[in-house]
A and B are shown apart, each in its own frame.
Chain A
Amino acid sequence: AQSVTQLGSHVSVSEGALVLLRCNYSSSVPPYLFWYVQYPNQGLQLLLKYTTGATLVKGINGFEAEFKKSETSFHLTKPSAHMSDAAEYFCAVSGSGGSYIPTFGRGTSLIVHP
């Protein structure tokens, strides 16, 4: 079975500060990993995904994530937070053990202070 753990239900940063949202997964090889963002009153939107190849993946809005197999992690980062980044972020995994149904984490709410 596959699972996702997002450490911290809330992360608070100041505008301009580094954003780090943590995601750890359990899965057999190879996992396919995703980050989604949800703005208020909207559905989830794909931010970035890792399938194969380069382990550092760049997404929209300046976000990137690095797949680290040895640490079973896929943390999301952005060098400088903007107020508009305030949203809920979800990590998801699929493909493990033949599962074609993605498993989502509980989400992390990013709060950006001026």
Chain B
Amino acid sequence: DAGVIQSPRHEVTEMGQEVTLRCKPISGHNSLFWYRQTMMRGLELLIYFNNNVPIDDSGMPEDRFSAKMPNASFSTLKIQPSEPRDSAVYFCASRAAGRLYNSPLHFGNGTRLTVT
């Protein structure tokens, strides 16, 4: 079990540039979550996919943010254009199929994004 894999681990970019974060969930998991973590706001849910379909994107801050899950083994979170206030650690997490309420989330190690 390789765990949830995120890339890159660190991203430094200038304001206005496009940023793409990538996630490979654990094989066989059918739910995928994108979170953002900051000191001010803690852990915020951005979007939740089930069986590759976006179910809840109410946490996506604004139209500059978009997420896709073209297949069960890959997801992207894109920010275009990026702004300094987007600086945060972005986590991807996956969850096994089955009883949705009681299965734990498996987190990747995150992408630390810095927008200057």
Binding site for B on A (CB under 8 A): 32, 34, 36, 41-46, 49, 51, 90, 94-95, 99-102, 104, 106-107
Q: How far is the CA of A90 from the CA of B107 in the complex (A)?
A: 13
Nearest-CB residue, chain A, relative to B101: A95
The reply to whether B102 and A32 form a contact with Cβ atoms under 8 Å apart is yes
Between A and B, 26 residue pairs with Cβ closer than 8 Å are: A32-B101, A32-B102, A36-B107, A41-B109, A41-B110, A42-B109, A42-B110, A43-B91, A43-B93, A43-B109, A43-B110, A44-B43, A44-B93, A44-B105, A44-B107, A45-B107, A46-B105, A46-B106, A49-B104, A51-B102, A95-B101, A95-B102, A102-B105, A104-B43, A107-B42, A107-B43
Question: How many residues on chain B are close to A (CB under 8 Å)?
Answer: 20
A-B contact count (CB 8 A): 50
The reply to whether A100 and B101 form a contact with Cβ atoms under 8 Å apart is yes
Residues of B within 8 Å of A45, CB to CB, are 107
Apart from A43-B91, A44-B105, A95-B102, list 6 A-B contacts with CB within 8 A.
A36-B104, A43-B107, A43-B109, A101-B33, A102-B105, A104-B43
